[in-house]
């Protein structure tokens, strides 16, 4: 059974606190007619600090989309490899053991994807599958786990590396003055995360079922407007209320598996904001403490987009392993409105080591068979 091993997470060294965020908003938008509302919404996020790839002075400047995207690529290549190394160590694997890389990011663009650079520079096999996901936003963390689970179900000997690289601060647009944009400026942070899904062995969440759900007619509630200046984030005021239609989807998936979504042992939920977590607690009838991992991510890092679910899983590990067989749910929410959900139980099975790594088979490929012409054998009777 495919197992999600302990993730590795890193945040940049530049920090902005809630107090500094509110002070900046007051200074830069003193004449904004809805400034009191924006300040109240930012204050209600519960985010105490966020990490940025640049000092705040540089973040507030806009040198143009080309320079920002070049910075995204440069910082991704600088920061991602170390996080991958830690994730591989957590799974007790090497780059040579990886069959697929799922790379998720919605805050910069590269073609070819960073996956090609990783394969060329970190020793991943040339046959490693590449699955870049760029347009699922915050839901992409859950989608990455689910696609890794699907691949390991199809190829049980496979190992999949998940990488989430989100530099949300590079999407700051100084001319976007809507309340949703001002709220986003105080909510989103930067982070890099990675984790391995092992087809066999490993300690972590043994993935058992996954599901996707799209809330009809909400595709314009979370979106990017792509302009000459880059990605402009659009956030509809109805987004915080999306747990009402999504909670039943979580319950239905759990019920189909014979589980009760309101009676599980751990919850890994995308921390888009406190309202989402509060509403989901109410709809699933679970105590606020059930979402402590997601709340901690939101408080300490802000909304780090697709990396949220991996950081929440990391916190589950670091709190102390749940009992073997403990049941849980993982869910990410993003544009669409899309939910990517998974069910799993805690497993302490040790990794299964391949004694001959150099001859490890290529997952998904049958060995080439050379067909030779039939050999005709003539049997001659012995002479009398």
* 303: phi then psi, degrees, rounded to nearest 5: -80, 110
Report the DSSP pairing between strands 222-227 and 230-235. Answer: antiparallel
| Per-residue buried b or exposed e for 91-120, using 16+ beta carbons within 10 Å of the residue's own CB | bbbebebbbbbbbbbbbbbbeebbbbbbbe
Tokens, residue 118? 């990783």
Q: 150: Cβ–Cβ under 8 A, 6 or more apart, which residues?
A: 210
* 209: phi then psi, degrees, rounded to nearest 5: -160, 145
Whether the CA torsion 15, 18, 21, 27 is positive or negative: it is negative
DSSP single-letter state for residue 218: -
Question: Using an 8 Å Cβ cutoff, are 84 and 121 in contact?
Answer: no
Question: Using an 8 Å Cβ cutoff, are 196 and 159 in contact?
Answer: yes
Identified catalytic residue from 5, 106, 138, 281: 138
Pseudo-torsion of CA 243, 245, 247, 252, nearest 10°? -160
Check if 168 is active-site. no
d(Cα 21, Cα 27) in Å, to the nearest integer? 10
Pseudo-torsion of CA 296, 298, 300, 301, nearest 10°? 140
Which residues does the annotation mark as catalytic?
138
């Amino acid at each position: 059974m495919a197992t999600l091993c302990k993730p590795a997470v890193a945040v940049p060294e530049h920090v902005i606190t809630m107090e500094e965020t509110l002070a900046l908003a007051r200074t830069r938008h003193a004449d904004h007619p809805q400034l009191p509302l924006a300040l109240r919404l930012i204050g209600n996020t519960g985010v105490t600090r966020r990490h940025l790839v640049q000092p705040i002075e540089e973040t507030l400047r806009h040198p143009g989309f080309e320079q920002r995207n070049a910075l995204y690529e440069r910082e991704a290549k600088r920061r991602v490899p170390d996080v991958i190394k830690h994730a591989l160590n957590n799974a007790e694997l090497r780059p040579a053991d990886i069959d697929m890389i799922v790379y998720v990011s919605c805050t910069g663009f590269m073609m070819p994807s960073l996956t090609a650079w990783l394969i060329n520079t970190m020793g991943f096999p040339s046959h490693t599958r590449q699955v870049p996901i760029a347009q699922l936003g915050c839901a992409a963390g859950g989608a990455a786990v689910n696609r890794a689970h699907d691949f390991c179900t199809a190829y049980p000997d496979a190992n999949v590396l998940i990488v989430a690289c989100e530099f949300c601060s590079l999407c700051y647009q100084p001319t976007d003055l809507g309340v949703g944009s001002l709220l986003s400026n105080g909510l989103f942070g930067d982070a890099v995360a990675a984790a391995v899904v092992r087809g066999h062995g490993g300690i972590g969440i043994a993935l058992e079922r996954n599901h996707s759900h799209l809330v009809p007619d909400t595709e314009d509630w979370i979106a990017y407007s792509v302009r000459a200046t880059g990605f402009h984030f659009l956030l509809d005021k109805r987004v915080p209320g999306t747990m009402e239609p999504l909670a039943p989807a979580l319950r239905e998936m759990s019920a189909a598996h014979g589980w009760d979504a309101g009676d599980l042992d751990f919850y890994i939920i995308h921390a888009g904001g406190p309202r989402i977590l509060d509403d989901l607690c109410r709809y699933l009838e679970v105590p606020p403490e059930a979402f402590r991992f997601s709340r901690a991510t939101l408080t300490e890092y802000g909304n780090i987009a697709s990396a949220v679910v991996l950081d929440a899983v990391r916190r589950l590990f670091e709190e102390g392993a749940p009992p073997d067989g403990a049941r849980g749910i993982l869910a990410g929410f993003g544009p669409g409105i899309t939910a990517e959900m998974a069910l799993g139980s805690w497993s302490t099975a040790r990794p299964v080591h391949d004694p001959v790594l150099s001859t490890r088979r290529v997952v998904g490929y049958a060995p080439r068979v050379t067909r030779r012409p039939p050999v005709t054998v003539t049997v001659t009777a012995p002479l009398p």
